[in-house]
């Protein structure tokens, strides 16, 4: 589901960018570390591309594929990410079908980033399954998510558009990761039951983590 005007303005506002750069990124780096040099990352629901820029600059990815359902966001991301040249591939498509969008095979990315997008997808379980499928063994899934607890608040309901069925709690989201054999590294940061930040890994075939 696409963002409405109010959410588009909020998500692309300087305070949100500040929060993403100076709070979310340090938390995710503390939990999951940088990704190995030469790695290719995927960002699902990249919006205007600020997260992809941070993945290249702060997490150390050498390349990133980024997709979004909204062509307007892809245009914005294109403008932002032009200086990175062929380090970036931008595609319009759905996180629920990464084969159709990016021809992404199993185990094809060293890291997958979700900066607040899975709660926008009615079939969110399919998006989690896709992220797990394309992640290489030893790879990391970095997530920042908004739970049903937040979406059910009056302010969220009045201001923004989100799917109304099958919203997830923090536990349901984490259970879904486990169902796809993604193991959460360390602890998950929870903010007032509304938001969660964490990193999960797909175990190597011998059961270990990288």
Report the interface residues with ligand SAM, using CB under 6 A. Answer: 1-3, 11, 44-47, 50-51, 67-70, 73, 94-96, 115-117, 120-121
d(CA 106, CA 69): 21
φ and ψ of 190, to 5 deg = -115, 135
If the CB atoms of residues 16 and 210 are measured against ligand SAM, the closer one turns out to be: 16
Q: Closest distance between ligand SAM and the C-beta of residue 54, in Å? A: 10
If the CB atoms of residues 43 and 110 are measured against ligand SAM, the closer one turns out to be: 43
Q: Closest distance between ligand SAM and the C-beta of residue 117, in Å? A: 4
What is the chain's percent helix, strand, coil content, to nearest 5?
45, 20, 35
Q: Closest distance between ligand SAM and the C-beta of residue 8, in Å? A: 8
Q: Is 200 helix (H, G, I), strand (E, B) or coil?
A: strand
Query: Which value, in Å, is the radius of gyration of the alpha carbons in the chain?
Result: 16
If the CB atoms of residues 116 and 139 are measured against ligand SAM, the closer one turns out to be: 116
Q: Closest distance between ligand SAM and the C-beta of residue 62, in Å? A: 20
If the CB atoms of residues 39 and 48 are measured against ligand SAM, the closer one turns out to be: 48
Residue whose CB is nearest to ligand SAM in the complex, by number:
47
Strand 40-44 relative to strand 63-68, pairing: parallel
Q: How many CB atoms lie within 10 A of CB 160?
A: 19
Q: Closest distance between ligand SAM and the C-beta of residue 139, in Å? A: 19
φ and ψ of 86, to 5 deg = -80, 10
If the CB atoms of residues 22 and 206 are measured against ligand SAM, the closer one turns out to be: 22
Contact 134/104 with Cβ under 8 angstroms?
yes
């Amino acid at each position: 589901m696409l963002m409405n005007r109010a959410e588009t303005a909020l998500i692309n506002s300087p305070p949100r960018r500040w929060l993403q750069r100076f709070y979310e990124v340090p938390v995710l780096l503390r939990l999951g570390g940088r990704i190995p040099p030469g790695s290719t990352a995927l960002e699902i629901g990249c919006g205007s591309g600020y997260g992809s820029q941070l993945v290249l600059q702060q997490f150390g990815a050498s390349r990133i594929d980024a997709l979004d359902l909204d062509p307007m966001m892809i245009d914005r991301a294109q403008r932002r990410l032009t200086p990175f040249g062929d380090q970036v591939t931008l595609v319009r498509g759905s996180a629920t079908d990464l084969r159709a969008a990016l021809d992404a095979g199993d185990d094809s990315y060293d890291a997958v980033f979700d900066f607040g997008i899975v709660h926008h997808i009615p079939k969110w379980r399919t998006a989690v399954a896709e992220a797990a499928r394309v992640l290489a063994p030893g790879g990391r899934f970095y997530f920042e998510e908004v739970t049903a607890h937040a979406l059910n608040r009056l302010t969220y309901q009045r201001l923004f558009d989100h799917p109304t069925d099958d919203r997830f709690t923090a536990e349901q989201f984490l259970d879904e990761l486990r169902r796809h054999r993604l193991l959460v590294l360390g602890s998950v940061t929870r903010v007032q039951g509304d938001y969660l930040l964490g990193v999960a890994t797909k175990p190597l075939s011998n059961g270990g983590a990288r």
